[in-house]
Chain A
Amino acid sequence: MPAVSKGDGMRGLAVFISDIRNCKSKEAEVKRINKELANIRSKFKGDKALDGYSKKKYVCKLLFIFLLGHDIDFGHMEAVNLLSSNKYTEKQIGYLFISVLVNSNSELIRLINNAIKNDLASRNPTFMNLALHCIANVGSREMAEAFASDIPRILVAGDTMDSVKQSAALCLLRLNRTSPDLVPMGEWTARVVHLLNDQHLGVVTAATSLITTLAQKSPDDFKTSVSLAVARLSRIVTSASIDLQDYTYYFVAAPWLSVKLLRLLQCYPPPEDASLRSRLTECLETILNKAQEPPKSKKVQHSNAKNAVLFEAIALIIHHDSEPNLLVRACNQLGQFLQHRETNLRYLALESMCTLASSEFSHEAVKTHIETVISALKTERDVSVRQRAVDLLYAMCDRSNSKQIVAEMLSYLETADYSIREEIVLKVAILAEKYAVDYTWYVDTILNLIRIAGDYVSEEVWYRVIQIVINRDDVQGYAAKTVFEALQAPACHENLVKVGGYILGEFGNLIAGDPRSSPLVQFNLLHSKFHLCSVPTRALLLSAYIKFINLFPEVKGTIQDVLRSDSQLRNADVELQQRAVEYLRLSCIASTDILATVLEEMPPFPERESSILAKLKKKKGSSKLPDMDDSRKNVNGNTEHAEDAEVASKVPSHTFTDNLNVNSAPSSGASLLVDVFSDFSSAAPTESSDEHFPRFVCKNNGVIYENQLLQIGLKSEYRQNLGRMYVFYGNKTSTQFQSFSTSVSSNDVLCSQLNVQEKPVDPLIEAGAQVQQILNIECVSDFSDTPVLNIQFRYGGTLQNIAVKLPVMLNKFFQPTEMMSQDFFQRWKQLGAPQQEVQKIFKAKNQMDTDVTKAKVNSEALGQCEHLGPSVTDLSYSINMQSDFSFMILLLLWCFYESSQLTSLCSVAFTPPALRFRCSSVGRCGS
């Protein structure tokens, strides 16, 4: 047992600790502890009142036992008793016990709070400090309720001792963190700011922490702290190192305070006042200059403290992002650190450069260090440093260096630590897509990824490559050839089999001309992998086979044999069995035409944000990622899927598509590959969306646009040539939208045809709130374009732009006119000119029911319709519509049956030829 150098020395405690240390086994230790617990329990329960010393000693023993990791369920009351002792050490142990073992027992909390209250009121600074430390350590809600209003008073009172002020400031900080609602802002806030001017640097240090936290929550209330902080910082950085006495740490003047002041300044934009701004710039330059000076000490503490201030200054420079000169200097300084012999500095330089890379002023300067960073990736012995190097390469990547960076990351991947492989895979996949000029490079890169780190290639990554290949026909042939070659490796990763199966199933025909990759060779190659694969992959392969039957009739027999084999038709897995049975039947009974329709090439996927990016963001938090907005532009999405959707709905339940565990084709919303896109929606430069637009052809109310942030609803009413539209903007986030503004734009032609007048809209939308805007619309003459509503607002610092097509169509202004059938046909005949009539014949999608169709046509405000009675056809309608500007549209809808198929003929006669297109679309909605 060592000699206790100072203090009281509770020998009983020391003996007990020695005993525990001498225990040879865990059991012996537990036994000794149980013995001690029994002893203490009996002492506490005994008749003889314990003196303060014994109480203190036993409470201290209990604390020791607790800190060893054992549970303590008694002794709290004795500890609380110690709080009211007038002996300092007893009080101190009591407070320590309470701080370590808080108990939410309400009776106890009341007693504790009582003791704290007494000590706070004692005017004895050591007691007050103990009480404040206890509040800061526990920080519970009950304590906040009891003391949150007293502590500011103590903090700013003129006669409070410095050490008490320090404790009070940090105590308040803790309560503000745990129960901000209970800490009242008041006149004390202004006085707290002035603590930055305090004589005592310890008080300034503690106060700066408090002010920083408060300023983060309500910057406006603490604006005045900026000038005080700059002044204070300036005095520190220009002081001679001895000026600050004990606050100088290894020849560095007040490093902790400097770091805190620089952190406080990061709560604000650069000062607007020119002199203040130049003073701050001077400070930052001085700090950068000092980094170049020879060290005043060889001790690592000196360089650490100096560089701590330097890194915080660089963080402020990056935060301001407004002084190109400083940014470039910062970057050069960090560049020096990249080759420093201290691992810590290399780590921090890589980390800090990541944020510099996203500033437009320093991006180029960061790029000059690419070789150093690549060598760090290869030579650093510490995985956490290599991880930083990967992050930095990712951040500095742009079109000019993407090939080099992707290649380096791929080669690093071969030896990378398992813990970071998945992240590297995601990063490579994103960079390869983002900077692909040549998509063959993209395909090669992803296949390399699968080859090198197949296990770490998540679904998102291989879904994405398929999406891109399907959407870009220039790369399909190359992709087919490449996967075919890759599959020839004796051992290839299952993910490659999946990609290969999908791509050959779709585009195998593009390489079938070459006898080395003839249909049969392709099929045999895929099928040679079949037995090694998991059930989902086998399911995918079965679908590829049925696609082959369509692409290559010559292998039909071979494939049917495979499907017919017992291992397929009687497979234990229901999914595989069902696919085999259904595909076999399909291949036997369906005609070539039907097969071709059912197994048609997949339609392109709608353009969305890369799901990989969303995954990486989720993994890392978006803060460290540079903007990747344009990645979404790389897939040429095409939204015309209507026909494909129909096809898909007719196919037996397991189409090729649901290999990816979805049920229908891309157009219908919840569909293949589409659901691998999470709802993540980025702050793209301008988002525009038409997806809800078609619904409004016949409807006036509903949601026209929705993304992660904003929902836009519409309610509209039309009378004659006038319309009024109520637009509702709903903020879906928990942050307010600022500078919200809207404008309606129409092209030159539309401007003269349609007047849209917008009422003003509130520039602020609170979190979760909805605001309304009214648009008045007047139809001047017939029109065919649509006006666009442009919305702009600031969300969390970034400007959002959204463009939404407003569903104002000519049919909204239609007015029904009733007329008898004779009149109708008379007028019809008068409109005889060829450009006055348009006719469209189409197959009805649904059963035509007279009443339903009639109701539909009526409800869509297309006009009053009149049943003309049976004529040569089974059914016919006349609809008369008269717009306000005096011309007439006559619509005739005929329905007739043709060999059990229902066909409609829609004829429209009209006066102004400009209506041609609009009318044909009207015809479609009626059917």
Chain B
Amino acid sequence: MLNIFMLLFSRQGKLRLQKWYVPLSDKERKKISRDLVQTILARKPKMCSFLEWRDLKIVYKRYASLYFCCAVEDQDNELITLEIIHRYVELLDKYFGSVCELDIIFNFEKAYFILDEFLLGGEAQETSKKNVLKAIEQADLLQEEAEAPRSVLEEIGLT
């Protein structure tokens, strides 16, 4: 059950999140994501969520304007990977409150943190929704305590 990588991209083909669980050079990553995004965008809506692509098995699903896509190993279980994607979407949804693409654009770092709590090294680390959200909320709590009030000028990015 190894995720090799996970990509989130929009219908326009813009990458919103990328997580690589195998060592690849920057160039290879760019090439793979470019080719794969094109392949998936070319598929029709009713098509199967799984495809063999090069030597990988790709599992993907579209949620509103975003495509979630995982590459897994050959013997891996497609359906459970599909539900990995769904659980991640649920986590984002719960955390942001009805998540949309913009939430992920503006809070990309949060999307990464949630993913790390859920999947680590390509494997499911914690599949309980409550436990993952608890961990993230604890971190947010730590953050608020630590946060000092800032001047308005600084906040609007004039620094």
Contacts and interface: CB of A to CB of B under 8 A. Distances in A.
Interface residues of B, number: 69
Interface in B115-129: 116, 120-129
A163 B123 contact: no
A308 B97 CA distance: 28
B121 A170 contact: yes
B103 A137 contact: no
Given A67-B15, A166-B125, A247-B128, A7 B107 contact: yes
A133 B116 contact: yes
A377 B80 CA distance: 26
Interface residues of A, number: 83
A246 B121 contact: no
B28 interface: no
A263 B73 CA distance: 13
Interface in A1-34: 1-2, 4-8, 11-17, 21
B159 interface: yes
B154 interface: yes
Contacts of A69: 15, 30
A173 to B, nearest CB: 6
A249 B1 CA distance: 18
Interface string B35-62: 0000000001011111110000000000
For A21, A136, A173, A307, which residue has the most chain B Cβ atoms within 10 angstroms? A136
B147 A8 contact: yes
B64 interface: no
A149 interface: no
B139 A171 contact: no
B125 A202 contact: yes
Contact of B126 (A2, A88, A163, A171): A163
Contacts of B154: 11-12
A201 B23 CA distance: 29
Contacts of B78: 308, 311, 344, 348
B120 to A, nearest CB: 4
A639 to B, nearest CB: 39
Nearest to A51: B148
A750 B111 CA distance: 79
Contact of B80 (A96, A259, A382): A259
A259 B120 contact: no
A727 to B, nearest CB: 40
B28 to A, nearest CB: 14
B127 A257 contact: yes
B18 A246 contact: no
Given A4-B106, A63-B109, A381-B47, A304 B82 contact: yes
Contacts of B110: 6-7
B95 interface: yes
Contact of A7 (B21, B124, B140): B140
B143 interface: yes
Given A5-B96, A87-B146, A260-B1, A201 B50 contact: no
Contacts of B96: 5-6
Nearest to A254: B127
A347 B79 CA distance: 11
A139 interface: yes
For B48, B105, B112, B147, which residue has the most chain A Cβ atoms within 10 angstroms? B48
Contacts of B75: 315
B97 to A, nearest CB: 6
A559 interface: no
A469 B113 CA distance: 65
Nearest to B95: A6
Given A17-B105, A304-B82, A305-B83, A163 B49 contact: no
A96 B125 contact: no
A163 B132 CA distance: 10
A92 B157 contact: no
B108 interface: yes
A592 B80 CA distance: 74
B60 to A, nearest CB: 11
A688 interface: no
B123 A11 contact: no
A178 B121 CA distance: 11
A259 B1 contact: yes
Contacts of A11: 154-157
A67 B155 contact: no
A11 B158 CA distance: 10
B77 A312 contact: yes
A104 to B, nearest CB: 11
A136 B157 contact: no
B123 A343 contact: no
Contacts of A167: 120, 125
Contacts of B84: 256
Contacts of A63: 108-109
Given A87-B146, A178-B23, A246-B129, A384 B50 contact: yes
Interface in A168-188: 170-171, 173-174, 177-178
Contacts, number: 210
A132 B116 CA distance: 10
B126 A15 contact: no
A139 B46 CA distance: 38
Contacts of A206: 120, 123-126
A4 to B, nearest CB: 6
A60 interface: yes
B83 A136 contact: no
Given A88-B142, A126-B142, A209-B1, A382 B116 contact: no
Contact of A263 (B1, B102, B128, B148): B1
Given A6-B140, A11-B155, A163-B126, A256 B80 contact: yes
A234 interface: no
Given A133-B116, A257-B127, A311 B139 contact: no
B51 to A, nearest CB: 5
A420 to B, nearest CB: 10
A12 B48 contact: no
Interface in A36-69: 53-54, 60, 63-64, 67, 69
A201 B128 contact: yes
B11 interface: no
Interface string B20-39: 01010000001000000000
A246 B120 contact: no
A784 interface: no
B47 A21 contact: no
A67 B125 contact: no
Contacts of A209: 1, 123-124
Contacts of B105: 17, 21
A255 B83 contact: yes
Contacts of B113: 92, 96
A170 B78 CA distance: 21
A301 interface: yes
A60 B111 CA distance: 13
Nearest to A260: B1
A568 interface: no
Contacts of A332: none
A746 interface: no
12 contacts: A6-B140, A7-B143, A14-B106, A53-B148, A67-B15, A69-B15, A88-B143, A126-B139, A133-B120, A137-B121, A167-B125, A256-B84
Interface of A: 1-2, 4-8, 11-17, 21, 53-54, 60, 63-64, 67, 69, 87-89, 92-93, 96, 100, 126, 129, 132-133, 136-137, 139-140, 163, 166-167, 170-171, 173-174, 177-178, 201-202, 205-206, 209, 212, 245-247, 249, 254-257, 259-260, 263, 301, 304-305, 307-309, 311-312, 315, 343-344, 346-348, 381-382, 384-385, 387, 623
Interface of B: 1, 15, 17-18, 21, 23, 30, 44, 46-52, 74-75, 77-80, 82-84, 86-87, 95-97, 100, 102-103, 105-110, 112-113, 116, 120-131, 135, 138-140, 142-144, 146-148, 150, 154-157, 159
